Structure 1
Amino acid sequence: MNLTTEKLFEIAQYSFVRMDGAWFMALARKHGIETAWEIDVDAWSQFSYVFGKKIRKDIITNPVWPQSFLDTLEIFSKVLKIEGRKVSVESDKIIVQVTDCETQKAIAKAGIADCGIVTVQAYQGIIKGLFGKEMGVNVQHTKNLNQGDDCCEVIIFPEN
């Protein structure tokens, strides 16, 4: 069987999101939803930090704010199949709006909660992995598709 790289990547995207969901649901069944959310936040914090470090080591060896974060976010979004994404930079703020996200769809289908806190932790982790743990940023999840908003919106800005 000969699969194209594109087809393998599509299968990997699907598998990553489904494994994340299956792991979360199994944990929630065994230990309760609150424990599952706490551990999920910890897992995404660690994963995103390591992801940011990997990008710094192999791709963006001398990161510059904000462009290197935007480039890393593009990679992260492709890996996780976060589509329908609009990113804008206004003064010192980065605004990310997402209308099509595989993880959000899976959470909505399962009817378990929303992914806002994990989104905040993931963006913070990427930034700390890419720029170093001392990089201070504020990440605010201001809109949420799972709560009836027109998009998921995250606003990111440096701490002063």
Structure 2
Amino acid sequence: MKKDMALRSLSREQLEELLEIYAKNWLAMDGVWFQSVEAAHGMEEAMKHDAAAWERFTVIEARRLKAFLQLPEHPGLEGLRRALELRFYGRLNQDSVYMEGNALFYRVGSCRVQSARTRKGMPLHPCKSVGILEYSGFARTIDSRICCECVSCYPEVTDDTCACLWKFTLK
């Protein structure tokens, strides 16, 4: 196929750059539809649609990553760590995944969405409610025993050294 040949002709560096372009394009599309609803119907309505979209998308993404990584049914926090490290928008944010005691933490130091909204003079995205749906759904799809807790996320920021912080534990 012609498409396969185009990809095969690229160097590893070019493929990595293309992956970043795809991630930026995906995030731009996410932001464009959200801002369209926000402008036409307000933040509350946009958040309602955002929650519905993320609740479905996060499960799709987690299932595909779980299959790609060939994770067992219950891969635990280590399986979740591996999957979180490969999330599409993770290529765009400054994030880290680390263990502390019996918990796994996912920390976003700098968020591209919030940075863009600030740059455009827009109010910050109140992402905690959607984040809870997103990260809980992602974690449960990787391993049904994993619980998610928001440590810090706008508008309830408890750690001003990062954009958001999530804690995962096994029940």
Which residue of 1 is the match for residue 3 of structure 2?
none
Deviations 1:9-64 (A, max 9, x none): 12112111111111100011222210101110121111111111112223233151
Native 8 Å contact 2:77 2:146 kept in 1? no
Counterpart residue type for residue 73 of structure 1: L
Moved over 6 A (4+): none
Distance 2:102 2:28 in 1: 35
Aligned pairs, how many? 156
The structure with the largest alpha-carbon Rg is 2
Q: Structure 1: give runs of 5+ residues left out of the alignment.
A: none
Q: TM-score, normalised by structure 1?
A: 0.81
- Counterpart of 1:125 (choices 101, 120, 137) is 137
Percent identity over paired residues: 21
Deviations 1:88-133 (A, max 9, x none): 222322222221222232343332433222222221121222224x
Which residue of 2 is the match for residue 76 of structure 1?
87
| 1:28 paired to 2:44 | no
Please report the RMSD computed on the Cα atoms of aligned residues, expressed in angstroms: 2.7
Which residue of 1 is the match for residue 112 of structure 2?
102
Distance 2:70 2:117 in 1: 32
Q: Structure 2: give runs of 5+ residues left out of the alignment.
A: 1-5
Query: Would the alpha carbon gap of residues 107 and 117 (structure 1) be closer, same or farther in structure 2, given more than 3 Å must change?
Result: farther
Distance 2:166 2:35 in 1: 25
Query: Would the alpha carbon gap of residues 10 and 86 (structure 1) be closer, same or farther in structure 2, given more than 3 Å must change?
Result: closer
Q: TM-score, normalised by structure 2?
A: 0.77
Higher relative contact order (CA 8 A, sep 6+): 1
